[in-house]
């Protein structure tokens, strides 16, 4: 892990796994008397001032959602506005925002970088989205994960049903939050790290977007990913995301993700530790027969033939 720069912000050599470890550290160290809480009883951090120039300071402007969210500051110092009050956004201060709470995250000083992780529910899953402010009003999405397990559902149930926060609520929430982040870290460590080439005429900005798409796909080989989900993550239209990916990589998002899942299935079968139906579930196929047919079409052999060897 690299050293921090003079302004307290980590250098770009930090990997997604490093940032997930930072998020785990924040979740463990967060204190009940220093949490930004929107939409419930305020028992947390003190405001630092009134909002200013929201159109320039916040990447998405002031907004609200129909679902709860959690924000974990990982590095540097930004600013969180919640219900018309502003709070310093710095580790290990969690922000817990209930549905319909008007809020936004942005810079405190235009030249001061920071990195945060947002956690947003999606059905019974949590989407984790790593955002970095690079200074001079430039934000970049670094990585994303979708975590689906009994821990992710229990965390969502807790935040959806809890309208009055307390120190006891934090201690109930903390182990669930830690488990969701730990599962994302396990996914990140297990994912392949092979870099694949771009088309020669793809510019740097588009490369960054496609890198984010590939990272999200590679981080989630255990489920099918819809193009509209990627568009929601990147705040881009699904058609634009698909066209850009096709131009840069030379294959559709669906084809790329299927290829990665089939490669992962082949590796698991070669290890010889799991039955075919278990491998099917590991790479996101609920029907082992459908997995076997897709595997045969892709690799030219049946999964049982690989498992027997």
Domains of the chain by residue range: 16-190, 204-308
pLDDT tens figures, 221-251: 888 888 988 887 777 889 999 999 999 889 9
- Class of the CATH domain delimited by 204-308: mainly alpha
Neighbours of 98 (CB within 10 A): 20
How does the average pLDDT of the chain come out, rounded? 81
CA distances to 132, 188, 210, 216, 307 from 220, in Å = 21, 9, 15, 6, 24
The tokens describing 123, both together, are: 């059905």
Specify the DSSP class assigned to residue 47.
Answer: P
The angle subtended at Cα 47 by Cα 43 and Cα 53, nearest 5°, is 140
What Rg do the C-alpha atoms of the chain give, in angstroms? 21
Task: With beta carbons less than 8 A apart as the criterion, state whether 88 and 103 touch.
Answer: no
Between residues 124 and 152, the one the model is more confident about: 152
Task: With beta carbons less than 8 A apart as the criterion, state whether 107 and 78 touch.
Answer: yes
Highest mean pLDDT among 29-43, 75-89, 169-183, 279-293: 279-293
**Among 50-59, 144-153, 166-175, 247-256, which is the least confidently predicted range?**
50-59
Token pair 């909002």 is at which residue?
51
């Amino acid at each position: 892990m690299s050293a921090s720069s003079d302004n307290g912000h980590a250098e770009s050599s930090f990997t997604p796994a490093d940032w997930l470890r930072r998020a785990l550290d924040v979740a463990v160290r967060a204190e009940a008397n220093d949490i930004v809480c929107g939409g419930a009883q305020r028992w947390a951090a003190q405001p630092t001032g009134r909002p200013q120039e929201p159109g320039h300071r916040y990447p998405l402007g002031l907004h609200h959602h129909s679902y709860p969210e959690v924000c974990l500051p990982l590095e540097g110092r930004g600013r969180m506005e919640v219900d018309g009050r502003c709070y310093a956004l710095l580790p290990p201060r969690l922000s817990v925002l209930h549905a319909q709470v008007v809020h936004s995250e942005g810079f405190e000083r235009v030249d001061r970088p920071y990195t945060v992780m947002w956690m947003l529910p999606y059905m019974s899953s949590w989407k984790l989205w790593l955002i970095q402010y690079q200074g001079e009003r430039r934000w970049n999405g670094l990585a994303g994960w979708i975590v689906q397990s009994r821990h992710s559902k229990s965390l969502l149930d807790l935040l959806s049903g809890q309208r009055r926060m307390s120190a006891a609520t934090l201690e109930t929430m903390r182990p669930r939050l830690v488990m969701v982040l730990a599962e994302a870290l396990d996914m990140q460590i297990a994912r392949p790290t092979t870099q694949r080439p771009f088309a020669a005429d793809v510019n740097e900005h588009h490369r960054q977007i496609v890198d984010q798409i590939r990272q999200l796909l590679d981080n989630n080989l255990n489920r099918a990913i819809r193009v509209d989900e990627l568009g929601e993550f990147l705040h881009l239209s699904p058609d634009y995301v698909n066209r850009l990916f096709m131009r840069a990589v030379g294959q559709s998002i669906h084809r790329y993700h299927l290829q990665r899942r089939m490669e992962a299935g082949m590796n698991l079968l070669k290890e010889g530790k799991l039955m075919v139906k278990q491998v099917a579930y590991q790479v996101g196929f609920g029907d082992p027969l459908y997995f076997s047919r897709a595997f045969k079409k892709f690799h030219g052999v049946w999964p049982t033939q690989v498992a027997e060897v």
